[in-house]
Structure 1
Amino acid sequence: MFPIRDHNPSRRPAMVTYVLIAVNIAVFLAMLPSYGDERALLSIYSEWALLPARISHGDGYYTFFTSMFMHGGLLHIAGNMLFLWIFGDNLEDEMGHLRYLGFYMICGLAAGMAQYLADPGSRVPMVGASGAIAGVMGGYLLLFPKARVDVLFIFIIFFKVFPMPAWIMLGIWFGLQIFAEMGSTGAGGVAHLAHIGGFVAGVIVTYPLWKSLGGTAFWSRTRGHPTHRQASYRFTQSSIPTVARRRR
Structure 2
Amino acid sequence: MIPIRDTISTRNYPVVNNTLIGINVVVFLLQMMQGAELDRFIYIYGLVPARYSVEQIAAYFTPGQQLFSLLSFMFLHGGFVHLIGNMWFLYIFGDNIEDRLGHLRYIGFYLLCGLASGVSHLLLNLNSNIPTIGASGAIAGVMGAYFILHPRSKILTLIPIIIIPWLLEIPAFFFIGFWFVLQFINAAASHGDVGGIAWWA
TM exceeds 0.5? yes
Q: Which residue of the partner structure matches residue 25 of structure 1?
A: 25
1:192 is the counterpart of 2:160 = no
Q: Is the 8 A contact 1:9 1:89 kept in 2?
A: no
Distance 1:96 1:181 in 2: 31
In structure 2, distance between residues paired with 1:110 and 1:187 = 17
Residue pairs, 1:1-248, within 5 angstroms: 1-34=1-34, 37=35, 39-57=36-54, 58=58, 59=61, 60-186=66-192, 188-189=194-195, 190-193=197-200, 195=201
C-alpha change, 1:175 and 1:186, in structure 2 (3 Å) is: closer
Which segment is superposed worse, 58-67 or 105-114? 58-67
Contact 2:192 2:199 in 1 (8 A): no
Do the aligned partners of 1:55 and 1:61 also contact (CA within 8 Å) in 2? no
Secondary structure (helix, strand or coil) at the match of 2:134 reads coil
Cα 1:54/1:85, change in 2 over 3 Å: same
Is the Cα–Cα contact under 8 Å of residues 124 and 188 in structure 1 kept in the other structure? no
* Partner SS for 1:10: coil
Query: What residue identity is the alignment partner of 1:50?
Result: L
Unaligned runs of 5+ in 2: none
TM-score, with length taken from structure 2: 0.89
Q: Distance in 1 between matches of 2:193 and 2:134?
A: 17
Report Cα offsets for 1:144-185 as digits up to 9, x if no partner. Answer: 011111111123313111111110000001112222333334
Q: TM-score, normalised by structure 1?
A: 0.73
SS in 1 for 2:30: helix
Aligned pair in 2 of structure 1 residues 185, 133: CA closer, same or farther (>3 Å)?
closer
Q: Distance in 2 between matches of 1:4 and 1:20?
A: 20
The amino acid that maps onto 1:180 is N
Structure 1 residue runs without a partner (length 5+): 196-248
Residue 46 of structure 2 aligns with an amino acid whose one-letter code is A
Q: Point out the structure with max Rg over C-alpha.
A: 1
Aligned residues between the structures: 191
Decide whether the 8 Å contact of 2:134 with 2:198 is kept in 1.
Answer: no
Does the 8 A contact of 2:77 with 2:134 survive in 1? yes
Deviations 1:186-239 (A, max 9, x none): 55335322x3xxxxxxxxxxxxxxxxxxxxxxxxxxxxxxxxxxxxxxxxxxxx
* Aligned residue identity for 1:178: F
